[in-house]
Structure 1
Amino acid sequence: MPSWICPSCSNVLSLNNHIWACSNGHSYDVAKEGYVNLLLVQHKNSKQPGDNKQMVNGRRAFLALGFYQPLADAISYIFNQHLATITHESAVSFFDAGCGEGYYMAQVSQYCNQTDLQIEFSGLDISKFAVQKAAKKYSNNHYAVASTFQLPLENNSQDAVLQIFAPSSELEIHRVLKSSGIWITVNPAANHLFEFKQALYDKPTEHKAEQVTPQEFELSQQLNINFVMQLTEPEQRENLLMMTPYYWSATAEKKQMLVDNLQQFTTDFDIRVYVKT
């Protein structure tokens, strides 16, 4: 079972009759889709934080067509490499901090289904709509609605934490990772979706990736994944646009021009693997 802790008192949660409860009497019902909501009202920054239904549905439709498969394969390979170093444990924990509708964690779990190790896959997202989608489709994995800045996980409980285009607390990642665990981050590299910038700005500039290694971590691996996509259908282009900040910054007119006219898109991902020091 996942290593959930109570968001109210940080005590360990135990599952009994579809209710997660701690020794202090705090309890959280399992939703019909199979996830648990561990996001306290006072930790919400809006009534429905995170991606809305339209954005979640757009991302699922886009990713389901395999456009980002090379990225999913790279992440899966990195975790599989790490599994080869784990020889002293019978069970392994993989956590997706900002899991969205569950695509990447599902890809990793499928990639690793040949191993003899028992692997527990769990993740969270602040968007209830995203977690509902994830839990319903990928019922073998475990999901919670929660914030990446307050991970409802036990200390030193995870062998790997994945973080894709999601903000988080470095201290929280450090707290929940085992001493031998890895933190896999994915962020936009210099030319990621540069076509969007060219269409929106008079003087588009390359994205500058963060170069500072988080405190109490050491960079053990860094790689770049880039490829060109041909999106022939307007719906595909609109779904990709909804996955980016440009969806909110562009005017309705410019967004429609993007959807109508652009067909070729450059991806550029910066993948880094950190270990605790």
Structure 2
Amino acid sequence: MATTAFTALACPLDGAPLAPVDGGWTCPAGHRYDQAAQGYVNLLPVQHKRSRDPGDSKEMVAARRRFLEAGHYRPIAELAARAALTELPPDAACLDAGCGEGYYLRQLAAAAGATGKSPALLGLDISKWAVQAAAKAQRGTATWVVGSNARLPVLPATLDRVLCLFGFPVYPEFARALKPGGQLIMIDAGPDHLRELREIIYPTLKPPRSGEAPLPEGFAAAPGDSLCQTLTLNDAASIADLLAMTPHLYRATPEGRARAAALQTLTLTVDVRLSRFLRI
């Protein structure tokens, strides 16, 4: 699982290039960012935070890690990796914008290694708990940073791929960081994704959104892909982890959460859409 060091980090305060120094990173103006003991660096200045502890909680991260490491969403990881590796240049740099605990980026690294490629990988998330878990799980896979999609700590026009998987895209920042011809790869829930769980926890389901989203400025559309299959969870713990790792935990009614907690098995629809956009 060989990867190349990621060298295109930018100072979150002034946008200047960051250079590695003993125990951290620094820019020409002297702003220094120390590497944590777990192997990540925090590039989210306090003035850029909207709350004291933004992003997923420690509990959500732990639930997602258990669920994903059990392999339940491995087909989604394979879908993302295939798209990212198609026509990937030899010296490519890739960002997972909203990397969570790092599962999808680790799967990408493994798939790249199997094809003899060694891209420079950057995993970024606004949750320090997520990045901490990612770095602890596989320090050598990627460079792991706490940061925001709203202000990517990445130099302009340095990325070949940006992945945004079930995340919060900030298209102007993605366009700024991608090279011309680079690709933005997004995976979002399809209309039937986890329908069976949603039918249990909500009184009624919202109708799916109609129409296509407008094309982001600075991008051209490229062929996408999709995945639709069933998944059976055979224990209450896995069902609880799935609910805990999604926003549905907080949106569901107390009665809906109680119904989900009583389940011992659940067969679900996994329905996702992969979109690709070329930086022009």
Q: Report TM bin, short chain.
A: over 0.9
> What is the aligned partner in structure 2 of residue 161 from structure 1?
162
Distance 1:201 1:122 in 2: 37
Distance 2:71 2:207 in 1: 26
Aligned partner of residue 112 in structure 1, secondary structure: helix
Structure 1 segments (4+ residues) deviating >3 Å: 114-118, 200-203
> What is the aligned partner in structure 1 of residue 201 from structure 2?
200
Could you tell me which of 13, 23, 31 is aligned with 2:36? 31
Counterpart residue identity of residue 250, structure 1:
A
> What is the aligned partner in structure 2 of residue 22 from structure 1?
27
Alignment of 1:103 onto 2:106: no
> What is the aligned partner in structure 2 of residue 133 from structure 1?
133
Alpha carbons 2:183, 2:277 under 8 Å: kept: yes
Alpha carbons 2:230, 2:267 under 8 Å: kept: yes
> What is the aligned partner in structure 2 of residue 61 from structure 1?
66
Counterpart residue identity of residue 81, structure 1:
T
Question: CA 1:254–1:201 in structure 2 vs 1: closer, same or farther (change >3 Å)?
Answer: closer
State how 1:1-277 maps to structure 2 within 5 Å.
1-2=5-6, 3-83=8-88, 86=89, 90-140=90-140, 141-208=142-209, 210-261=212-263, 263-277=266-280
Alpha carbons 1:194, 1:265 under 8 Å: kept: yes
TM-score, scaled to structure 1: 0.94
Deviation for aligned residue 1:206: 4.3
Aligned partner of residue 66 in structure 1, secondary structure: coil
TM-score, scaled to structure 2: 0.93
Distance 1:234 1:190 in 2: 25
Distance 1:243 1:206 in 2: 23
- Tell me how large the CA RMSD over aligned residues is: 1.5
Question: CA 1:6–1:41 in structure 2 vs 1: closer, same or farther (change >3 Å)?
Answer: same
Aligned-pair identity (%): 33
Aligned partner of residue 86 in structure 2, secondary structure: helix
Distance 2:201 2:21 in 1: 52
Alpha carbons 1:188, 1:207 under 8 Å: kept: no
Aligned partner of residue 155 in structure 1, secondary structure: coil
Distance 1:158 1:42 in 2: 26
Distance 1:266 1:206 in 2: 17
Q: Which runs of 5+ in 2 are unaligned?
A: none
Alpha carbons 2:201, 2:259 under 8 Å: kept: no
Counterpart residue identity of residue 271, structure 2:
D
Deviation for aligned residue 1:71: 0.7
Distance 1:42 1:105 in 2: 28
Alpha carbons 2:162, 2:174 under 8 Å: kept: yes
* 1:12-40 deviation per Cα after TM superposition (whole angstroms, max 9, x unaligned): 01111012100101100000111100001
Counterpart residue identity of residue 148, structure 1:
N
Aligned partner of residue 162 in structure 1, secondary structure: strand
What is the aligned residue count?
272
Aligned partner of residue 239 in structure 2, secondary structure: helix
Distance 1:181 1:23 in 2: 28
Distance 1:239 1:199 in 2: 16
Counterpart residue identity of residue 257, structure 1:
R
